Every structure is written in structure tokens, then in C-alpha cells.
């Protein structure tokens, strides 16, 4: 089993009024990487999909994939392509539930947003994941 010390939150960078189901994510990543880069994906209705086994290295945070898990939620852009926290109440609940479980399994893992990694110049996940999950306990 891999040692996980980082849980990186992402958004799919799709519009809040655009459906981007798990099948679209899988197809997009298959074309780009040959496999799905995120370990988990949460759709707007709050459904959580495991899209990559945790023992497999992902492709979501260059330079950090070896020791991290990638969690992505559907959305992240408003109708005008402006980075925005578009998480629905169902996504917020599902993300919190997933993160609690992951912290229980990987208690030393820090939860951060993709934007919080060095040399990342994007707004992803379009909210302050460090502040929101700073005090999260399993």
C-alpha cells in the first residue's frame, strides 16, 4: 500500500450549468493520460465514484502523485467561465464524508486544493480547501 500524506482537491473546471458525468471524466482522462487521473469524482447530485484504486498512482498533481490522492468535484466555473465554488449542498456533504473516511485511513495526510501546490497557476478547486478542512477529524 502506498503512503499517502496529501489529499488534493480538484474541480473538473466545467460550467455549473454543464453536465460532466463520470463517463465524460473517464473518457477525457483516458484520452489525455491513458487512464483516469483522479481517485474519486463527485457529481453535482452528490454521487461519489471511485475512478482509480488508491494503491495506484494518479495523474492529478505533477510532482506529488506518488504520495497523494486526487479528489475532484464536478464544476468549478460559473456560466461565464469565471472560477467559482459551484459545489452543490449534496457535493459538499459527499466531499466531507469522503474526506473524513480518507483522513481516518490516512491520518497524516494534509488536505489541500490543487492551487495550493507550488507552481500551480490556476484557481482549482475554486475554494480554500486548506481553510475549510483545516480542523477535519475522522
28 is known as an active-site residue: no
Of the listed 28, 67, 92, 122, which one is catalytic?
Answer: 122
62 is known as an active-site residue: no
103 is known as an active-site residue: no
64 is known as an active-site residue: no
- HEC per residue, 71-125: EEECCEECCCCCECCCCCHHHHHHHHHHHHHHHHHCCCCEEEEHHHCCCCCCCCC
Of the listed 38, 40, 49, 64, which one is catalytic?
Answer: 38
124 is known as an active-site residue: yes
Of the listed 10, 15, 29, 39, which one is catalytic?
Answer: 10
Of the listed 72, 124, 126, 133, which one is catalytic?
Answer: 124
Backbone angles phi, psi at 14, to 5 degrees: -115, 160
Of the listed 39, 114, 126, 133, which one is catalytic?
Answer: 114
Would you please indicate which residues are annotated as catalytic (active-site) residues? 10, 38, 114, 122, 124
Amino acid at each position: 500500500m502506498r503512503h499517502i500524506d496529501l489529499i488534493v482537491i480538484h474541480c473538473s473546471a466545467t460550467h455549473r450549468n454543464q453536465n460532466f458525468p463520470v463517463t465524460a471524466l473517464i473518457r477525457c482522462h483516458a484520452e489525455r493520460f491513458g487512464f483516469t487521473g483522479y481517485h474519486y469524482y463527485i457529481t453535482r447530485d452528490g454521487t461519489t465514484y471511485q475512478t482509480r484504486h488508491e494503491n495506484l498512482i494518479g495523474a492529478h498533481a505533477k510532482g506529488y502523485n506518488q504520495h497523494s490522492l486526487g479528489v475532484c468535484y464536478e464544476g468549478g466555473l460559473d456560466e461565464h467561465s469565471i472560477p467559482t465554488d459551484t459545489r452543490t449542498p449534496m457535493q459538499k456533504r459527499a466531499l466531507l464524508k469522503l474526506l473524513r473516511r480518507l483522513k481516518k485511513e490516512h491520518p497524516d495526510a494534509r488536505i489541500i486544493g490543487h492551487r495550493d501546490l507550488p507552481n500551480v497557476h490556476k484557481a482549482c478547486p475554486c475554494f480554500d480547501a486548506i481553510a475549510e478542512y483545516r480542523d477535519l477529524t475522522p
